[in-house]
Structure 1
């Protein structure tokens, strides 16, 4: 079977598209898919060039680990070639530091767009930035060898790549606080029980289980999926009455569309 040519293949990120399904792959298994600013920019670019025909994005990592987190070279005085080191950023202005972190976050936020569903297929280590990248997706299928850990606080930092909001939403404040402050490992059984993962399977079945989930996701009518995702995403910011109103409006749009009645 011929694989589609990549639309993007740079800085540890490869994007391929097969009709309604896109696959974003982290491609530095020799580094356990450790992350860098260049990788985050490549993720942002993958989101920018994603064709409008795509309904589901699968995010995966090559090798034994999904992503072992931030490449520690970021904390050395020299940093990465052509990049300001994190030490240099810390010495700069507040505005530049804020804008730089916001740029890094862009690689994660597009996975939550309401017009797509995103699925992380996670094996082995998903540490720090790797954990947050998995949390950026709507759904997570994990191998039974998965090890989630939020290591930032243990290193004197905080999780800043958009992971705190979904973590609290999934497991609650108290458990999220404990997970972040202790930096402990979360294995497959706990990940499923706590809501961090939708399903756990033996490592050799990860790809097949992900494909089965994706097939089920694309089976539903796209417009209904988009409306449903938007409804669920907005729950935390609405009262019950506001949510009821949003449901009525969404259902009205669906009924008119099904009846062939335009706006």
Structure 2
């Protein structure tokens, strides 16, 4: 069942699994503000029964990043160009970027587990979209790169925190400042990829991982994800307290004593 199909984004639901597909392979799934709004809408449209969300791109590339048309004087039809945005007030520019970021923030919600299925190019905004997901299964032809600095910009689509958490500050700085490509073998070694498979096995690998994630009781996965997401920001003793509280909720639920 398709709940959404617009602006280069399609959302389909199959029982407890949702699939968000980037649908403009002719442009290597280049991104635009309209696409970002559609991605944010997809997040808002998820039924409460969904447990796993798969993000994929049609064609040979996951996403080649921001459509360069954004930097032309005319920009996209019906949209302010990035040059126009730069001439606006600080408040307007900040709120516009915050709106763009919404497309990249909902993937880590505690009630779902998100998987990016990444093949070919995942550059700039494409890399950040893959980083927005909890897990990444990648094809052996994958090419990650953070190219924003080569354009005189910074990664601003919520990708800097997950990148640093995955690979550490020094490696994240080097990847972003140089804009170099990270290929499949290195991506797996650095922790960017949970799994590397041949390109023709990507969909099957994602299906297998989805099935494994659906096997445990949903509430146990939700509680565990919440604990892990907060683990690096909480003091050790606070994390121990959170673990005890989560386990108490699970034990009471299993004993039929929850509200």
Q: Shared fold (TM-score greater than 0.5)? A: yes
1:133-152 aligned within 5 A: 133-152=129-148
Say whether 1:204 aligns with 2:211: no
List gaps (5 residues or longer) in structure 1: none
Q: After TM superposition, what 4+ stretches of structure 1 lie above 4 angstroms from structure 2?
A: none
For residues 108-123 of structure 1, the aligned pairs below 5 Å read 108-123=104-119
Cα deviation code 1:94-119 (max 9, x no counterpart): 00000000000001101110000000
Match in the other structure for 1:46 = 42
One of 158, 162, 169 as aligned partner of 1:166: 162
Q: Is residue 252 of structure 2 the alignment partner of residue 256 of structure 1?
A: yes
Distance of 1:162 and 1:262 partners within structure 2: 36
Is residue 2:231 matched to residue 1:235? Answer: yes
State the distance in 2 between where 1:160 and 1:9 align.
26
Q: State TM-score, norm by structure 2.
A: 0.99
Match of 2:73 among 52, 72, 77: 77
> Is 1:87 aligned with 2:83?
yes
The SS at the match of 1:16 is strand
Task: Give the match's secondary structure for 1:35.
Answer: coil
1:57-72 equivalent positions in 2, closer than 5 A: 57-72=53-68
Does 2:189 match 1:193?
yes
**SS of residue matched to 1:103:** helix
Distance 2:156 2:214 in 1: 32
Q: Which residue of 2 aligns with 1:18?
A: 14
> In the aligned structure 2, how far is the partner of 1:117 from the partner of 1:65?
23
Residue 262 of structure 1 deviates from its aligned partner by: 2.1
- Mark the runs of 5 or more structure 2 residues left unpaired by the alignment: none
Task: Determine the structure 2 residue equivalent to 1:98.
Answer: 94
1:223 has 2:223 as partner:
no
